[in-house]
Amino acid sequence: MGGGHLDRFAEPVDPDLKCKLCSKVLEEPLSTPCGHVFCAGCLLPWAVQRRLCPLQCQPISAKELHQVLPLRSLIQKLEIKCDYSPRGCGRTVRLHQLAAHVEMCDYSPARCRHKGCPEVLSLKDVDAHMRESCELRPAGICQQGCGLVLLQRDLAGGAQPGGGHCCLRALRSQNSSLQGQRASLEQELKRQALKWSKREKSLLAQLAALQSEVQLTALRYQVNDAKESAPIGTKAQEVQGLLCRISLVGLVGKYKVLQVSYAFYKEFQSMSL
């Protein structure tokens, strides 16, 4: 990658490594026939639309442009600040290492994993926040009768056991949440039941069609077998009989596979519902 803002690089960037169109560090540098170099993303649209070198020196076409690999390699070795330097990361890495560093950077933004917590912190601080300062972290089991898990904020409402926790209010809230989950599950079950019903009809139709085809092929096989047993037969009859046998074997195999699939589907359907 390239095309970075100049102020992110650890050292002043050589003017020869800058694109004359976007004024940033060259990204995937392409050279014109006249020797001028620009970012691929800048030069290609320009060449297609204007068919002229951006420096107005001669006509160009997209097929005449070529990569400048040594220059690209040089750019990839430039030292650059981390994307998260505004969040506190002081690391500088080579440009080709930037993506890997950013992915694992301790200062990358990460959300608290406790349900309902809106806090977004640096990755390195998430565990400590969840363990020590998050108001929504678990803080024990209520001993007043409801048996629900207390959150840290529930203990901040007073000196009495449970603090600001009210068993009745908490149970009502939990019941409302469970009712919502139940409604969602019922909707999903109905959707799945409709899906399985359509699948069942499709499988039954395939079984019926295949059964008819097996019976018809078996009948053809019997007719051809009778013809072949006659004193005088022809090569055409022999070939046709052989084809019928092959077709019958294949159809019977398909029929058995479809029967197994249908049986498996019925078992899975009963387990799901």
Give the end of a domain, one of 136, 157, 184: 136
**Residue for token digits 């969602």?**
184
Higher pLDDT, 182 or 220: 182
Classify residue 185: in a domain, yes or no.
no
Number of structural domains found in the chain: 3
Q: Do 89 and 111 fall into the same domain?
A: no
3-class secondary-structure state, position 61: coil
For 54, phi then psi, to 5°, come to -55, -25
Partnered with residue 29 across adjacent β-strands are 39
pLDDT single digits (tens) 154-201: 776 543 444 567 787 778 887 888 888 888 888 888 888 788 778 777
Judge whether 14 and 112 are in contact, CB under 8 Å: no
Within 8 A by CB and 6+ apart from 42, the residues are 19, 21, 22
Q: Which domain holds residue 43?
A: 6-96
Judge whether 161 and 144 are in contact, CB under 8 Å: yes
What is the Cα–Cα distance from 253 to 124, expressed in whole angstroms? 59
Classify residue 157: in a domain, yes or no.
no
Q: Do 64 and 126 fall into the same domain?
A: no
Classify residue 90: in a domain, yes or no.
yes
**Residue for token digits 């620009």?**
38
Q: Do 12 and 60 fall into the same domain?
A: yes
Give the end of a domain, one of 87, 120, 136: 136
Judge whether 95 and 73 are in contact, CB under 8 Å: no
pLDDT at 14: 92
pLDDT at 107: 97
pLDDT single digits (tens) 67-108: 999 999 999 999 999 999 999 999 999 999 999 999 999 999
Q: Which amino acid is at 260?
A: V
Specify the long-range contacts of residues 44-47, CB closer than 8 Å, at least 24 apart: 46/21
**Which tokens in the block code for residue 67?**
């990569």
CB atoms within 10 A of CB 243: 14
Give the end of a domain, one of 82, 117, 136: 136
Within 8 A by CB and 6+ apart from 243, the residues are none
Q: Do 130 and 211 fall into the same domain?
A: no
Classify residue 208: in a domain, yes or no.
yes
Classify residue 33: in a domain, yes or no.
yes
Q: Do 125 and 83 fall into the same domain?
A: no
What is the Cα–Cα distance from 246 to 179, expressed in whole angstroms? 58
What is the Cα–Cα distance from 32 to 35, expressed in whole angstroms? 5
Q: Do 29 and 83 fall into the same domain?
A: yes
Classify residue 47: in a domain, yes or no.
yes
Query: What's the mean pLDDT in 125-144?
Result: 90
pTM confidence score:
0.56
For the chain, how many helices (H) and strands (E)? Answer: 6, 9
Higher pLDDT, 257 or 153: 153
Within 8 A by CB and 6+ apart from 248, the residues are 214, 217, 218, 221
Classify residue 234: in a domain, yes or no.
yes
Judge whether 257 and 265 are in contact, CB under 8 Å: no
Q: Do 56 and 32 fall into the same domain?
A: yes
Give me the half-sphere count of Cα atoms (radius 13 Å) on the Cβ side of residue 20.
14
Classify residue 233: in a domain, yes or no.
yes
Q: Do 23 and 86 fall into the same domain?
A: yes
Q: What CATH code is carried by the domain that includes residue 48?
A: 3.30.40.10
Q: Do 202 and 239 fall into the same domain?
A: yes
Nearest residue to 66 (alpha-carbon basis) of 100, 38, 25: 38
Nearest residue to 137 (alpha-carbon basis) of 114, 155, 164, 158: 114
Q: In which band, very low, low, confident or very high, does the pLDDT at 38 lie, cut at 50, 70 and 90? A: very high
